[in-house]
Amino acid sequence: MGILDGKRILVTGVLTDSSIAFHVARLAQEQGATVVLTGYGRLGLVQRIAQRLPETPPVLELDVTDDAHLASLAERVGAHVDGLDGIVHSIGFTPQDALGGNFLNTEWSDVAQAMHTSTFSLKSLTTALLPLMDRGGSVVALDFDNSVSYPIYDWMGVAKSALTSTARYLARYVGDRNVRVNLVSAGPLSTMAARSIPGFDELARHWPERAPLGWDVKDPEPAAKAVVALLSDWFPATTGEVVHVDGGFHSTGA
């Protein structure tokens, strides 16, 4: 018996088998869930990666900044499952000019793209799928702690701060439908998105030495486990919350 037995979960953000979302989908299936994936852009690649899951799920196209994709999403998901109990938002993108120490020179158009894709999308994805969540459910998004500034992360850090706030407001507005909204704030993990951040290794190198529990940038499973736990019925009264899965790094001062 799994903690997601009978649950129908939509997982965004699978790109490679190092994607945090890939491990969420794998663990969710192992825990009894029926999973539907969405893929962005390289759909053939996402479909091939999906075959590495315990059961091959359907893959639906979704550019989360495309209003037409969002408008048809509930109907397309509804062709595979008769409702949803969970949504996983594992989406992030920042133009290169908004990262890597260029903070003072970044143009608004690049910041806007980062915020549209990485932040506003939590609201638009959730509202697109709310009609399928008539029994209530759980929305979980991936965050990166931004209670302080970090080198290199720049406007992505600002987008993540806004994501934290977006989750709190979303939780306020969907609570009366018994829908919970929570974030998992993961430590740095070596994924495609992370490797596209110039200087990621410099940012990540402090974690293993400072986190009380240590930290392995190559192991996305602890973050994925927390997402699955939040999707389950074991956090029935928790919403607007941030669960840190970073080896405890955020709790230390030096």
Ligand X SMILES: NC(=O)c1ccc[n+]([C@@H]2O[C@H](COP(=O)([O-])OP(=O)(O)OC[C@H]3O[C@@H](n4cnc5c(N)ncnc54)[C@H](O)[C@@H]3O)[C@@H](O)[C@H]2O)c1
Member of 186, 224, 226, 230 binding ligand X (CB under 6 A)? 186
Cβ proximity to ligand X: between 25 and 193 the closer is 193
Residue 167 and residue 230 in contact, taking contact as beta carbons nearer than 8 Å = no
Cβ proximity to ligand X: between 13 and 247 the closer is 13
* Active site annotation includes 123: no
Only one of the segments 17-25, 47-55, 165-173, 233-241 lies at the binding site for ligand X (rule: CB under 6 A); that segment is 17-25
CB of 119 to ligand X, least distance (A): 10
Does the protein bind ligand X through residue 122 (CB under 6 A)? no
Is 96 in a helix, a strand, or coil?
A: helix
CB of 176 to ligand X, least distance (A): 27
Q: What's the CA gap between 250 and 175, in Å, rounded?
A: 28
Residue 238 burial (C-beta neighbours within 10 Å; 0-12, 13-18, 19+):
middle
* Active site annotation includes 153: yes
Cβ proximity to ligand X: between 40 and 155 the closer is 40
Which string of x and - marks every residue 28-67 that binds ligand X (by CB under 6 A)? ------------xx--------------------xxxx--
Q: How many CB atoms lie within 10 A of CB 149?
A: 11
Q: Which of 7, 40, 153, 173 is catalytic?
A: 153
CB of 68 to ligand X, least distance (A): 13
2 φ/ψ angles, rounded to the nearest 5 degrees? -110, 165
Angle between helices 108-115 and 154-174 (to 10 degrees): 40
Member of 192, 199, 213, 236 binding ligand X (CB under 6 A)? 192
Angle between helices 121-129 and 67-78 (to 10 degrees): 40
Cβ-Cβ contacts under 8 Å for 202 (sequence gap 6 or more): 151, 152
Cβ proximity to ligand X: between 159 and 179 the closer is 159
Q: Which of 7, 150, 160, 173 is catalytic?
A: 160
For ligand X, the binding residues in 197-216 under the rule CB under 6 A are none
CB-side neighbour CA atoms (13 Å) of 170: 29
Q: What's the CA gap between 163 and 199, in Å, rounded?
A: 23
Does the protein bind ligand X through residue 17 (CB under 6 A)? no
Does the protein bind ligand X through residue 188 (CB under 6 A)? yes
For ligand X, the binding residues in 68-107 under the rule CB under 6 A are 90-93
What are all long-range contacts of 50-56, with beta carbons under 8 Å and residues at least 24 apart? 50/14, 50/25, 52/17, 52/22, 53/22, 53/25, 53/26, 53/29, 54/26, 54/29, 54/30, 55/29
**Which residues are near ligand X by CB under 6 A?**
12-16, 19-21, 40-41, 62-65, 90-93, 117, 142-144, 186, 188-189, 191-194
Active site residues: 153, 160
